[in-house]
Structure 1
């Protein structure tokens, strides 16, 4: 009985994620067709290439998005998995259909270049981020960058930037230098919004603290922040002294308060801070402090 319920729950989650990918794709299509494209501003990646191809050869944008992304979907299937490839097909097909359906929708902003890039980038990034958060991609250039990063001594983000430089050079042949610059700005804004949508505004951070007063530090963190912490043995590479290293995971809103606690108890504490994409399981919950 439990297995049947679990299967139903898994199936419902897959359907829900598929719906969210479709919604994300239509939001991205709306940003393209009502803000960016009517004002001669493009996107990066495969979508940017498709926009330029559509302008040059007078072909439907949706058709080009679907066709150019095909090899990248195959790449995603081979490198990442079947479910990712399926959701990406769903997302890219929805993006293609969305651009066709919204092609004659009037522009919601005209003339103001700053507003166009900001609003267009936010709408586009929100749609793409929603799709990525639910296991699908709307643009194949990210998959290519992941594959190349395994073959070349560069990170994925560096390769995405490098590949998009050529995309924006290509964009400049149709939309001019100003259009290419505005496209790059819109793409940058969209990438930041994607990051926020994927990880959430609250986010988490890990603090690793080496202090001469570990017990007092942990007790104060527990009393004033409602957070627990863990100890780990650490040894000084130069002094060979033995320390207790404290590890504490908090949300971003608590960062300033934790820094105040550290500074108050031990100004000379050695502190490293890391961004955390996701926290699951264990006992990561905030206790009441009042």
Structure 2
């Protein structure tokens, strides 16, 4: 118990708990208001739980609640997250999963549209926004997130692209078992969810920044004071218009950190020329905040 308590940050417990509540409400709304009425299978462990429920009805005539299957399937993955990612991250993810299972159980299933395309798009958008929001706050919805986060740390792949890859396997299983029309609409929902996740979870998007400045010391000090990023300095650069001597600074930041970088440049050298290349790929070590 003492080891567990050392991992719990009392200062931001309320923030993380509120994040878990928001995710649980959004994910439950996506499933109960769009996925279930449209017979669309969700991504990750939630989709597996839906498949288990459908198999239970067709094979045994018994419906296993999606909320219960979701909770049970996450138990072995909690162990993976505890030892491979972070005990603190896993603890709060457990709270998120429990709340999600609870809200899925108590929130009524309501038919807002009978059009499967509408259900797939809106359900996927809500689920993707929920996933991106919870990841942005250093939490997770559990399930396959443990696996995708571990792979992202090693390969640099985005969470959304990894989710699309793993969930395509789930969709293939759903198509083989229940009909390809359900798999196709579910694939649309997963694609939308993955893209929205990447749009919201900006910490994983890397940007190369080239700074041409006459005040390199001030800029370097400002960046180091605000951001934990390395900087490469290229000396003896010369402008082709006035032939004045400049220095070129190269660094890589995430899209999440970009507003902080802009503020640093405004304070240290507002006349500097700054070029930003979006979505660059990194080979080698790149610091990412621990979960």
TM-score tier by shorter-chain length is: 0.5 to 0.7
Q: Deviations over 1:53-103 (max 9, x none)?
A: 11111201000000011111111111111110111101111111111112x
Aligned partner of 1:52 in structure 2 is 51
Aligned partner of 1:189 in structure 2 is 192
> Is the Cα contact below 8 Å between 2:164 and 2:190 reproduced in 1?
no
Residue among 125, 130, 133 paired with 1:127? 130
Aligned partner of 2:70 in structure 1 is 65
In 2, the alpha carbon distance for the partners of 1:279 and 1:155 equals 20
Q: Deviations over 1:18-44 (max 9, x none)?
A: 111121122111111111121111112
Q: Is 2:264 the partner of 1:284?
A: yes
Q: What is the CA-CA distance between 1:187 and the residue it aligns to?
A: 1.1
In 1, the alpha carbon distance for the partners of 2:265 and 2:106 equals 45
Structure 2-normalised TM-score? Answer: 0.66
Q: What is the CA-CA distance between 1:144 and the residue it aligns to?
A: 2.2
Q: Is 2:17 the partner of 1:15?
A: no
In 2, the alpha carbon distance for the partners of 1:131 and 1:66 equals 18
Q: Is 2:210 the partner of 1:208?
A: yes
Once the two structures are superposed, the pairs formed by residues 255-274 of structure 1 within 5 Å of their partners are none
> Is the Cα contact below 8 Å between 1:55 and 1:174 reproduced in 2?
no
Aligned partner of 2:111 in structure 1 is 107
In 1, the alpha carbon distance for the partners of 2:199 and 2:149 equals 20
Residue among 141, 144, 160 paired with 1:141? 144
3-state SS, counterpart of residue 129 of structure 1: helix
Residue among 89, 92, 95 paired with 1:87? 92
Once the two structures are superposed, the pairs formed by residues 202-241 of structure 1 within 5 Å of their partners are 205-208=207-210, 214=212, 232-233=233-234
In 2, the alpha carbon distance for the partners of 1:187 and 1:136 equals 20
In 2, the alpha carbon distance for the partners of 1:37 and 1:29 equals 10
Residue 116 to residue 97, structure 1, CA distance change in 2 (3 Å): same
Residue 246 to residue 14, structure 1, CA distance change in 2 (3 Å): same
**More divergent stretch after superposition (45-54 vs 15-24):** 15-24
Q: Deviations over 1:174-194 (max 9, x none)?
A: 442121111111111112222
Q: What is the CA-CA distance between 1:284 and the residue it aligns to?
A: 2.6
In 2, the alpha carbon distance for the partners of 1:117 and 1:54 equals 19
Structure 1-normalised TM-score? Answer: 0.67
> Is the Cα contact below 8 Å between 2:28 and 2:104 reproduced in 1?
yes
> Is the Cα contact below 8 Å between 2:30 and 2:127 reproduced in 1?
yes
Aligned partner of 2:183 in structure 1 is 180
